[in-house]
Amino acid sequence: MFTFNKTRWLAALSAFVTLCAGMPGALFAQSGGSWRFVVSGDSRNCGDVVMPAIAAGAKANDAAFFWHLGDDRAIYDFDQDYHALHPKASIAQYEAQAWPDFIAHQLDAFGTMPVYLAMGNHESIPPKSRIDWVSQFADWLMNPAIRKQRLADDPSDHQLRTYYHWIERGIDFITLDNATPDQFDSAQLAWLQKVLNRDSEDTAVRAIVVGMHEALPDSISSGHSMNESPVGTESGRLVYSELLKLERGAGKRVYVLASHSHFVMSEVYATACRTSQDVLPGWIVGTAGAVRYRLPKDLAGSGVHETDVYGYVLATVAADGTIDFQFKQIDPSDIPAATVKEFGQPVIDACFSDNKADYVPAGAVCEK
């Protein structure tokens, strides 16, 4: 006859909890628990110094992937980190080596962790172009998850694009391209509308996370966003309205992520241009190494807002699709020893103390 032994049962439970505590986060995610991903952008200037620390943070938090929101290298001039290693390089040599340098010093730091890329405006500065970017980063654009989703959407679609999406554990991650003033163009808008229509009808999709380089129009940092071009203003407002419609009509959670402005800020769409019911959760996280800007003067709607920092947003996805975003700061002590050895402590110190600018993005100007 079975006899319940409380002492043995508690001992077995304790052993099980201890075993689970040592398992990677990814294993828990597969059993229906929460899981994480990491986002940052603008890794020019000092990104070769900062990004290896972001990669280490992503690994320590068992992130499922890293999402880079654009501006890999400066292109218009030498990045400080590159110039420190190649002080005699010509600008032509730098432009030829800039993206391979980004891959070697930044992307390779993530090892086997999937990395998703968005195109930034610096990726289109001559002599670079959108076509060049697709060619250079084709391996990342052919990520199995992206390819599988593209063919699931349309089995005859075999074209690489700078915009794409993939569905992971009930979340649709959408990467948009607003790197140049002519975006969003009609082709990208038509593609996005089809994606959102499918998401609205797919009960398995619980949330949508949209990532892009420039923030959508009418944000707290609108002076450095899609508001800078007429096409960007019009098409960006259209995208915002479609995302808001999806959240309201289909009951899907919608989150909007961007970089471009070189600071971190939450609730970026909570401006006087919108009612509180029309505000989508949004973050700007342009803190992966770029020269750091001053914060906008009006920060009334923002919760988190900080500059002169480097770091990333750690996103924790709950089983119901709710996502919690937390900014994780990178300090000098977080820079890996191998990076310090390669660049030297003076370069590390200069990146943290001197990599600043006086530029202040203008706030939202509401239409009457």
- At 244-295, the pLDDT tens digits run 999 998 889 999 999 999 999 999 999 998 998 999 999 999 999 999 999 9
In single-letter form, the type of residue at position 44 comes to: R
| Rounded-to-integer distance, Cα 21 and Cα 24, Å | 8
Q: What is the DSSP secondary structure assignment for residue 31, as one 8-state letter?
A: T
| Rounded-to-integer distance, Cα 202 and Cα 186, Å | 24
Average pLDDT over residues 168-175: 97
At 27-46, the pLDDT tens digits run: 434 345 899 999 999 999 99
What pLDDT, on the 0 to 100 scale, is given for residue 301? 86
For the domain 24-353, what is the CATH code?
3.60.21.10
Band of residue 18 on the pLDDT scale cut at 50, 70, 90? very low
Average pLDDT over residues 17-26: 38
What pLDDT, on the 0 to 100 scale, is given for residue 13? 38
What pLDDT, on the 0 to 100 scale, is given for residue 54? 98
Vertex 136: Cα angle to 131 and 140 (nearest 5): 110
**Percentage of the chain exceeding pLDDT 70:** 91
For the chain, what is the radius of gyration of the CA atoms? Answer: 21
Nearest alpha-carbon partner for 94 in 44, 167, 41: 44
Q: In the predicted model, is pLDDT for residue 77 greater than 90?
A: yes
Mode of pairing for the β-strands spanning 207-211 and 253-258: parallel
What pLDDT, on the 0 to 100 scale, is given for residue 32? 56
| Rounded-to-integer distance, Cα 174 and Cα 164, Å | 6
Nearest alpha-carbon partner for 114 in 73, 178, 175, 23: 175
Band of residue 2 on the pLDDT scale cut at 50, 70, 90? very low
Q: In the predicted model, is pLDDT for residue 139 greater than 50?
A: yes
Average pLDDT over residues 301-315: 95
